[in-house]
Every structure is written in structure tokens, then in C-alpha cells.
Amino acid sequence: MCRHVAYLGPPIALSDLLYAPPHSLNRQSWAPREMRGGGTINADGFGVGWFSGDALLRYRRSCPLWTDAGLPALAAATRSGAILAAVRSATEGMAVTETAVAPFTDDRWLFSHNGRVAGWPDSVVEAAGTLPVRDLLTLDAPTDSALLWALTRARLRAGEEPGAALSGVVAEVAKAAPGSRLNLLLTDGETIAATASGHSLYSLSRDASVLVASEPLFDHPDWTPVPDHSLLVATPSAATITALEGAAP
């Protein structure tokens, strides 16, 4: 069910996440190792977002990553020190459209969700009702992930720190929709916040950089598994893992 990755550190090529490593995101789109909860491959679209100076750029498509013949050369020539990318395996019944693919964004945030909201959509009608109507009318897509982004963004706009916003959304949604899988990934280009809640997650801090990924991209002894039901907050110089509040979903 979806794989995602985020990187902060010295500039690298987008292809250093998407294509170059032995277990790149491209490989994870057709040969993931740690899928839980149903999916087998991640063929329902992909997206990559990156910071370039003051600009936040995003490229997403509804086709499998491995079918985009033009992207490898573009990705090799495009460098950034802050990148978030994802490949999607649509949850049964959810729209397969470009706008349903992560990363979701506004002008300084990139967000991805790996998992599913149990009992969608009835379980979260009440939670969605706390959002401004405008946010609901402008959801990227009628999917659980797009709603989770809207709930997260509302907390960020209210001034919550990235980690607090993610753990707040997980607590709220896990209570309303027990059995949900809620691996959330968020960056503003300076900090990465990520939850492990139902799916695999790893981090690797080295050489003034940090990588956070559903599955390790390459062999390295310092990949650290993030325990289930926890929150990771990381910058290139420090990473902390804490237990998520509330009951496990």
C-alpha cells in the first residue's frame, strides 16, 4: 500500500531516490518488500515534490512510475536538498487520478499518506465536519489521503508543529476509524515528520542528511526501523522517535 520517501541534506539528484539505488522508489513500485494490508505493487501513480530556492515544485502522474520514459533524464538533471516522493497503490474503491497521488502540497509543505482509513468515508464524516467547508470543496481528490492532508494542513495553519499536527491527526482518525493504517509523511524543507502506524518505516541519518522511507533504498548498517505506533521528527542533524499518543489504531 504505497511507498514513500523523504530526504533533507546536501543537494542530490531526484534520481538518487527515484532510480539510482538498488531498491529505489521505482523498484519499490513493482517489487516492494514490505507491503502489508493487501496491496502487491504500486502502479496507480507516483509523485515527487522538491524545494528549489524559494519555489516548491511538484510532478505527479496517474501512471506507474516505470512507464514514464521522460522522467529518468529530468530526474538525473534536477537537484534539491529537500525532496518527498511517493508511489501509489490505490485503496479499493478510491479514485485513480493524478490528483489522488502524493505529494499533496501547499506553498511550503509536502505530504504523503501510506495506508487507509478504515470504514471510509462514514467513519470520518464527523472529523471532516471540523474543517472549513472551503477545504472540503477544494480537496485534491475524494480519497482518504486527501482528507488526511486537509486535516493536517488545518492544524499546521493553526500553528501546530509538524510532529504535533501528525500525531494529532493520527489520534483523531484512529479513534474515529479503528483499524486504520496511518503512515503520514510531511516536510517543509527543514524538518521531516513521519508516523509509523500500521506500515513499515525506516530512517537513515548520515553525512548531515536524513532519509526517511517505507523501505531502505540501499544496504547500510545505520538504517533504523521506526517502531509501529511512533512519531519520527528529523532534521539533517538530529532525529527523535517518540510513542504516538492514544491507543494503537
* Site residues for ligand GLN per CB under 6 A: 1-2, 39, 88-91, 94, 100, 113-116, 143-145
CB of 248 to ligand GLN, least distance (A): 18
Active-site residue, from 1, 2, 124, 166: 2
Q: Which residue lies nearer to ligand GLN by CB, 81 or 142? A: 142
Q: Which residue lies nearer to ligand GLN by CB, 118 or 211? A: 118
Paired with 48 in beta bridges are 59, 85
Q: Which residue lies nearer to ligand GLN by CB, 83 or 102? A: 102
Residue 2 annotated as catalytic: yes
CB of 113 to ligand GLN, least distance (A): 6
CB of 209 to ligand GLN, least distance (A): 25
φ, ψ (nearest 5 deg) of residue 108: -140, 15
CB of 13 to ligand GLN, least distance (A): 26
Q: Which residue lies nearer to ligand GLN by CB, 32 or 189? A: 32
- Please identify every residue annotated as catalytic: 2
